[in-house]
Chain A
Amino acid sequence: MSLDKTDVEKIAHLARLAVDDVDIPHYARDLTNIFDLVEQLSKADTSDITPMAHPLDANQRLRADEVTEVNQRETFQKIAPKTEAGVYLVPQVIE
């Protein structure tokens, strides 16, 4: 398996990662090597094997639907890059 420049650009976009053009060839090489390693999995016979999502096969624990957390908006927004009147600011999305 071999990943090229277009693949890396597509993956970087999906991951919302700005990658410099000069770095793309080495990411392509590294990702190709990683997926060559991963390719070894195809040798394993996994027919009828249930996928293992959790080491202890535990189920999600449920709790009563009650408010248990207090509002800490000010504390949390103190570390935000940009806020105003209690909301987080980002570049305008809707015209």
Chain B
Amino acid sequence: MNMKDKIKDIVRNLLILIIIILFISPLILLILDAFKPYREIVSIPPTIIPKEFTLNNFIEIQKKIDIVRMTMNTFIVAISITISTLFLGTLAGYAFAKLQFKGKEKIFILIMSKLMIPPIVLVIPWFFMMVRMGLMDSLLAIILPNLSGAWTIFFMRQYISQLPNELFDSARIDGAGELTIFFRMVFPLIKPALATAIIINFLWGWNEFLWPLLVLTSKENFLLSIGVAFVKYSGGVMTEGTVNYAMLAAFSLIYALPILLAYLLLAKQFVQSIVLSGLKR
């Protein structure tokens, strides 16, 4: 390596290092702030490393809003959405990939057109419908519209159509019914695709915000997502008329933690799945 290349390499690594620092410092700040008393955050100058390491923020939040309950609610919503979408989406995806029926193409296009409807335009009608159905302020109101997913159907159809037809044909000759084929053959064969679909649907379920914000009114039904907005905007957890940033940090950390841990453990899977999923819902 000559001098010029060496300098180039140093500059390049330096630039990369700067980018890393820029992107990671908010995340480090989140962790530090969560374990600091509020007064340290707003003292002049503020402390970076907590002088007094405290778990008080978490304890105070738990006293004011039941974060354990909220975490459970969020898991219930994300897991139900994921399981149901995986099952119903794969069922439909298999039908579109391997079964023949009238109007198949047209129905597929109809289902895909669901991807074009942004949630923000649906919440007014949903509000009306859920009042009628008596489902306001219930987790069911959030789960129901998400029981199946157009992206999952699309993704599963793509994946299953790559599987050789002979596999299914020979099972049919052996007298297996379509349901048996689906459960015994399709599910085991699509394991890699299932991992991707689980990650994507769970992330989406965990992320749900706008609709829960409108439909959930009592604190014991809150999800962590709207809990963040509650901690920021509700008078109950404010300190002297301003936001309690220590609590905001503690709460955001709890909300982010499961996703953060999953990403640390399964980084490659995450990246592949998200690049595959292409667009956000």
Q: Do A and B come from one complex?
A: no
Chain B residues at the A interface, C-beta cutoff of 8 Å: none
